[in-house]
Amino acid sequence: MFEMAHLFEDALREYDELELCYMETVNMIGKQRDFGGVDRGDDQAVLLNPGNKPLTQIVQDDSFREFEFRQYLFACQSKLLFKLNRAFEVASRGYSFIISFSKALALHENILPFCMREVWVITACLDVVNATASHYIDGLVAPDIEKEFYRLQGDLYSLCRIKFMRLSYLIGYGTEIERSPVNSASLSMLPWPKPAIWPSVPPDALSEVFTKEKVSYQYAVC
């Protein structure tokens, strides 16, 4: 209602309050719902697309799964912030959200597809970087805010790069990553969970593929 009346600040406040209420229910004992994240295409982040699954459909399905609903709320908040010319805040909130949501994905990694978390974080970081860069207007904010905005852009790129390297390790290309102090330091700070579901190899694949899969599996579970 507020958004239709172009009262974007009030609409944003409502979404913020809705997010707080939802997170309280998520953390209540005995109120847990299915987390979600197992449908086709769920590994692609939809942080900036509130229409990916409309709220009316979520209500009709009575799903309110954390994986879908939290992304929906963030997308609605981002849409309003862009209308308010606050791309910096989208970047700031986006970085915090990706870190928080990645931890939620880690808690449910045993039910999610292999490498789901890595792919989701990579796509989320790139989406936020590209969207905020296209909406950001130089000179519209104070110099210190502008400096912080570009720092956040760098942090998002860095997180994306680290997850991409980790993904390379998990699928068996770790030996091809450049050996450097920066890469070693970045990778050493990451946890290495055992994958719950490994991608299947087609029956008509070459024998070298099966050999590589076996080596990758032994490397990842050690």
Instruction: Indicate whether 144 belongs to any domain.
Output: yes
Instruction: Indicate whether 204 belongs to any domain.
Output: no
What residue spans of 84-115 are helical by DSSP H?
Answer: 87-107
Q: Name the region of 208 (left: φ>0; alpha: ψ -120 to 50; beta: rest).
A: alpha
Instruction: Indicate whether 89 belongs to any domain.
Output: yes
Instruction: Indicate whether 155 belongs to any domain.
Output: yes
pLDDT value at 217 more than 60: no
Question: Which domain, by its residues, includes 134?
Answer: 8-192
Mean pLDDT rounded to a whole number for the chain: 81
pLDDT value at 89 more than 70: yes
The predicted pLDDT at position 17 comes to: 93
What H or E segment, with its residue span, contains residue 124? Answer: helix 116-135
Instruction: Indicate whether 150 belongs to any domain.
Output: yes
Of 116, 16, 107, give the one whose Cα is nearest residue 66. 107
**Residues 28-51: tens digit of each pLDDT:** 766 667 888 988 899 999 999 888
Query: Domain total for the chain?
Result: 1
Residue 73 or residue 209, greater confidence? 73
pTM of the full structure: 0.77
First to last CA, the chain: 54
When pLDDT is averaged across residues 102-123 and rounded to a whole number, the result is 93
When pLDDT is averaged across residues 76-103 and rounded to a whole number, the result is 95
**Residues 169-214: tens digit of each pLDDT:** 888 887 777 766 666 656 655 554 444 544 555 566 556 655 655 5
- At 8, the pLDDT band (50, 70, 90 cuts) reads confident
Percent with pLDDT over 70 in the chain: 72
Instruction: Indicate whether 1 belongs to any domain.
Output: no
Instruction: Indicate whether 206 belongs to any domain.
Output: no
Instruction: Indicate whether 95 belongs to any domain.
Output: yes
